[in-house]
Amino acid sequence: MLVDWIIILSSIGYLLVLFAIAYFADKRAERGAGITSHPYIYALSLGVYCTSWTFYGSVGRAASSGLDFLPIYLGPTLVFVLWWLVVKKIIRITKAHRITSIADFISSRYGKSTPLSALVTVIAVVGIVPYISLQLKAVATSFNVLKQYPEVIAPLNSPPIATVADTAFWVALVLAIFAILFGTRHIDNSEHHDGVVVAIAFESVVKLLAFLAVGIFVTFGLYDGFGDLFQQASRVPELVQLMTFEKEGAYTTWVTLTTLSMVAAVCLPRQFQVIAVENVNEPELRKGVWLFPLYLLAINIFVLPIALGGMLQFPRGDVNADTFILTLPMAHEQEMLALLVFLGGLSAATSMVIVATIALSTMVCNDLVMPVLLRWNWLGLREKSDFTGVLLFVRRSSIILILLFGYAYFRFLGESDALVTIGLISFAAVFQFAPAMIGGMFWKGGNRKGALVGLSLGFVVWAYTLLLPAFAKSGLLPITFIAAGPLGVELLRPYELFGLQGLDHLTHALFWTTVFNAGAYVFVSLYTRHSAIERVQGALFVDVYRYADQGARSQIWQGSASVEDLFNLLVRFLGRARADRAFSGYFRDRGLERRRVITADADLVHVTERLLSGAIGAASARVMISSVVKGEVVRLEEVMTILDETSQVIEYSQSLEQKSKELESTTAQLRAANERLQELDRLKDEFLSTVSHELRTPLTSIRSFSEILSDHPDLEEEEKSRFLEIIVKESVRLTRLINQVLDLAKIEAGQMEWILEDLDIPQVVENSMDTMSAILSEKEIALDVDFASDLPVIRGDRDRLMQVFVNLLSNAIKFCDESRGWVKVSVFLQGEEVAITVADNGRGVPWQAREHIFEKFHQSREGLADKPHGTGLGLSISRQIVEHFGGRLELVQTGSRGSVFGVFLPLQAKQIVAKAGE
């Protein structure tokens, strides 16, 4: 039997455990051993996204509209999986600017604007209060249901109860105490609330365990696993609908809900709090990216089974589907399970309320109350020496006020709508932050006026299309407002604004708020001036990765402030101890002696502002700083110049790096080219020296014998004619050598003139042999000829090819057997080539010379002592000619019985010639 006091006692016990956890986590953090930097803690703390709405409401939604509960979880999953670069950027910006809340974020982006931060705060409060009341409602409802144990049907119209006897009131009170104790321990909000974060993570575990326990109980206890459950459900026609997508307009709703929840996952004040403000270091995000979606998956896996189980178990429909998770164990008398579920729901509700109130109270204090207080000079607050007390008081009061508002909303409006509907109205409210926030992170063009107008319009349209109708439904406004429009103007019907029909209420609202909000944001931003500070902040946000921690920002303050003034300012808001620590640290880091520094530099002013921002928000910090800094914020042009210079310097250094890389590679190329040149130079030298040597050799003989003949007129006739013959021979050799050197030079310089015509190769070979006939018969060399018939014509230069064949023939004649010389010339088709081979029966090419015979000036000297040398250029030139026509000149075979040289000319030489001739 579960009686009231057991439930209450367990709840209080649970909350005490929570207190203890938070307390010890805070103590640990104070010792510098905080555990919030642990990625699992971080990922679990993100589970604050799953409120009692998840815990009770998604089963309810699944029971009424099937898979529609899923997009709410699809959104955050998408954000973390696909958009994690956005989230990373948010975290980076938050850290760089010591941002304390989403209001601070948006106002910082648009020039630390006070009106903007106030507007965001108002929207957040108005939007989130219903959400908080939803949590109170959930706890109260579940308590009342559980109280009836084992009866599962809650009394429908319970009589009005006094506030003091109302469960929700006490819940609100306890949560307020918790939030005050752990949420306002420090003044500097950009410091982390370790205790809260760890407690939240713990609550995430509790609610997940409770949900899984019921899921397993229903699926495997009441039924025989998923298969059995779904099979039984499929026999009930109404339930089949829930498992399919056939509902009309379902896709639009899905897209709407997914978009909404994507934005909410980042822009909900409590989400922003845990994702960005409480984030200790960026790498946590990397684990969060997959852990958080995994958590969402786990908590959703049993939603449909529990909904189906509930519908099957309570077929009469008299049990509220939102309570299935609780009533199912109750109906089967599982006391402990029911209690666990209640605690799970309690944990889901408390975690949301605690984080949301902390986030909201920070916003209310920093962005709404403080700027106003600081401006009202007559309050004398500016001169107050210690502000920390005021800050704490404002924050604590706002926590209590917010919870009271939540409770009031619950008391007067909360009964009319299902959990999910209230939650979605909140989501739609924070959706209004998206254009200003996301736009501001990626578009430098967005300005303060744009954000203000966009947000205001979005907020008004949201209130008109979602909030007012909800009021109307609960009787605060005449119900005709919905059906007939205000004052009967149909065009203004809140669910069919400007005649837009056919969309569900939420999609409809989202459509119009987006049109007005984003439209105004872009339009106004484009057509209004940007102030200096807006541009600076815009650049710092959009290019947060570019501007490292220091750099441009410190230059934004010009003029001077005394160290004393700045210090006193810090003392007022942070307390003496923290101010002392901050200043000592600052001077120590720079190696300065604090006593000696009287005038603060821009850097110190900036540091002070940053510290103040952490405590009272950027907008208020700006007001305070400007009160002590003499001189003004730098003019627009100067700031932009500074920023431009910074980025120019960065670009310049990047381009410099690029240039130096290019230079390096150019240098390498130059070096290579130089080496190549040196090599060519060396080759040229060698060539010249070789040519010189080759020319001097015949010249020496000619000169010697000429001088001998001229100096010795008394020589015998026989001797005279022998010497003359030598002179003639050497002259011929010299002439040939000169011609060949010139040929070679021309070929290599590409200046050889090629006369192309269709050639009958056998005929060209025949002509070449004719020129050698005299020497052949003189030396009595046998000549064999083997020409294939019907060879195709080949395009080429007749004279040059003859030169090749003559060279090969004369080599063959020179090297063939001296006494019984034999030379064979063959022409035949081989594949796609015409082959011309010249064979001899000489001694063959010595093996060590085979590699070199085609080189310039390589001469065979072996065993030819008594024969006149060739020029050593014949084969080299021949090969170049043949290669010019795309062919090959090779030593086909050589050995003691002779050598075979072959010329292989391709049949399609035309193209190659055409190419080579270019």
- Residues 464-499 as b or e (16 or more Cβ within 10 Å = b): bbbbbbbebbeeebeeebbeebeeeeeebbbbbbee
Minimum CB separation from other proteins for residue 862, in Å? 8
Q: Give the residue, chosen from 564, 707, 757, 760, that forms a contact with other proteins under the rule CB under 8 A.
A: 707
* x-or-dash string of contact with other proteins, 807-826, rule CB under 8 A: --------------------
Min CB(697)–other proteins separation in Å: 6
Least Å from the CB of residue 720 to other proteins = 12
Tell me whether residue 194 or residue 694 sits nearer to other proteins (CB atom): 694
DSSP state of 830: E
Query: For residues 588 and 703, which CB has a smaller minimum distance to other proteins in the complex?
Result: 703
Name the minimum Å distance from CB 683 to other proteins.
15
Q: How far is the CB of 812 from other proteins (least distance, A)?
A: 22
Q: Do residues 430 and 124 lie in contact, with contact meaning Cβ atoms separated by under 8 Å?
A: yes
Q: Hey, what amino acid is at 307?
A: A
The least CB distance from residue 685 to other proteins, in Å, is 9
Answer yes or no: are the C-beta atoms of 451 and 521 closer than 8 Å.
yes
Asked if 780 is part of the footprint of other proteins (rule: CB under 8 A), the reply reads no
282 scored as a contact of other proteins (CB under 8 A): no
| Interface residue with other proteins, options 246, 549, 589, 711 (CB under 8 A) | 711
Rule CB under 8 A: choose which of 37, 568, 647, 697 binds other proteins. 697
Binding flag, residue 712, other proteins (CB under 8 A): yes
What residues have CB less than 8 Å from 391, skipping those under 6 apart? 187, 365, 370, 573, 615, 616
Q: Please, which residue, 669 or 689, has the CB nearer to other proteins?
A: 689
3-state secondary structure of 646: helix
Q: Which of 266, 260, 320 is nearest to 504 (CA)?
A: 260
Q: From the list 590, 661, 682, 696, which residue makes contact with other proteins (rule: CB under 8 A)?
A: 696
- From 27-35, 166-174, 512-520, 859-867, give the range in contact with other proteins by CB under 8 A: 859-867
Among 4, 861, 908, 917, binds other proteins (CB under 8 A): 861
> Of the two residues 828 and 857, which places its CB atom closer to other proteins in the complex?
857
Work out how close the CB of 806 gets to other proteins at its nearest, in angstroms, rounded to a whole number.
24
Residue 837 or 860 having the CB closest to other proteins:
860
Q: How far apart are CA 38 and CA 373, in angstroms?
A: 39
Nearer to other proteins, 421 or 860 (CB): 860
Structure token pair of residue 13: 């016990």
Which CB atom, from 498 or from 847, has the smaller least distance to other proteins?
847
Taking the complex as a whole, how short is the minimal distance between the CB of residue 694 and other proteins, in angstroms?
8
Judged by CB under 8 A, the residue of 104, 730, 833, 840 near other proteins is: 730
Write the CA distances from 433 to 121, 122, 185, 278, 515, integer angstroms. Answer: 11, 12, 28, 20, 14
574's tokens:
């942070």
Q: Which of residues 160-219 bind other proteins (CB under 8 A)?
A: none
702 is a site residue for other proteins (CB under 8 A): yes
Residue 868 lies near other proteins (rule: CB under 8 A): yes
726 binds other proteins per the rule CB under 8 A: yes
Among 279, 701, 803, 871, the residue binding other proteins under the rule CB under 8 A is 701
Q: Which of 307, 192, 324, 296 is nearest to 239 (CA)?
A: 307
CA nearest neighbour of 614 among 575, 568, 643: 575
Q: Which stretch binds other proteins (CB under 8 A): 16-24, 539-547, 692-700, 793-801?
A: 692-700
CB of 859 to other proteins, least distance (A): 9
- Should residue 85 be labelled a site residue for other proteins when binding is judged by CB under 8 A? no
User: Do residues 453 and 522 touch, judged by C-beta distance below 8 A?
Assistant: no
The answer to whether residue 708 forms part of the interface with other proteins (CB under 8 A) is yes
Residues 6+ away with beta carbon under 8 Å from 322: 56, 57, 59, 60, 141, 418, 419
Question: Would you count residue 689 as binding other proteins (CB under 8 A)?
Answer: yes
890 bridge partner residues: 902
- Could you give the maximum distance between any two Cα atoms of the chain, in Å? 159
Nearer to other proteins, 704 or 810 (CB): 704
Structure tokens at 233: 């459900």
**Residue with Cβ nearer other proteins (755 or 865):** 865
Binding residue count for other proteins, defined by CB under 8 A? 27
Considering only the stretches 30-38, 343-351, 704-712, 781-789, report the one whose residues sit in contact with other proteins under the rule CB under 8 A. 704-712
Q: Which of 693, 820, 850, 897 binds other proteins (CB under 8 A)?
A: 693
CA distance 289 to 608: 34
DSSP per-residue string spanning 220-282: IIISSHHHHHHHHHTTSHHHHHHTS--STTHHHHHHHHHHHHHHHHHHSHHHHIIIIIS---T
> Hey, what are 234's tokens?
């499929």
671 vs 850 by CB, closer to other proteins = 850
The smaller minimum CB distance to other proteins, of residues 373 and 708, is found at 708
CA dist 289 and 682 (Å) reads 65
For other proteins, the closer of residues 753 and 866 by Cβ is 866
Contact call for residue 779 and other proteins (CB under 8 A): no
Binds other proteins (CB under 8 A): choice among 720, 824, 869, 910 = 869
Coil, helix or strand for 906?
Answer: strand
3-state secondary structure 294-311: HHHHHHHCCHHHHHHHHH
69's tokens: 């509960």
Shortest spacing between CB 734 and other proteins, in angstroms = 11
Instruction: Report, in Å, the least distance between residue 870 CB and other proteins.
Output: 13
Taking the complex as a whole, the smallest distance from the CB of residue 863 to other proteins amounts, in Å, to 10
CB of 696 to other proteins, least distance (A): 4
The verdict on 866 binding other proteins (CB under 8 A) reads: yes
Distance in angstroms between the alpha carbons of the first and the last residue of the chain: 105
**Tokens 């809650």 map to which residue?**
154
Q: Does 286 bind other proteins (CB under 8 A)?
A: no
CB-CB contact of 503 with 251 (8 Å): no
Question: How many angstroms from the chain centroid is the CA of residue 625?
Answer: 37
For other proteins, the closer of residues 849 and 916 by Cβ is 849
Nearer to other proteins, 473 or 869 (CB): 869
Q: What tokens were used for 562?
A: 């005394």
Q: How far is the CB of 721 from other proteins (least distance, A)?
A: 14
Q: What are the backbone angles phi and psi of residue 898, rounded to the nearest 5°?
A: 125, 180
Q: Which residues are CB-contacts of 285 (< 8 A; sequence separation ≥ 6)?
A: 42, 84, 87, 88, 91, 279
Q: How many C-alpha atoms does 42 have within 13 Å on its Cβ side?
A: 24
Shortest spacing between CB 750 and other proteins, in angstroms: 28
Q: Could you tell me which stretch among 559-567, 752-760, 784-792, 864-872 binds other proteins (CB under 8 A)?
A: 864-872
Residue nearer to other proteins on the CB measure, 349 or 845: 845
* Comparison of 179 and 702: residue with beta carbon closer to other proteins: 702
Q: What's the CA gap between 336 and 781, in Å, rounded? A: 121
Number of H helices, E strands in the chain: 36, 9
d(CA 161, CA 365): 33
- Asked if 736 interacts with other proteins (CB under 8 A), we say no
Binding marks (x or -) toward other proteins, 633..672, rule CB under 8 A?
A: ----------------------------------------
Identity (one letter) of the amino acid at 818? E
Which residues here bind other proteins, judged by CB under 8 A? 689, 692-694, 696-697, 699-705, 707-708, 711-712, 726, 729-730, 861-862, 865-869
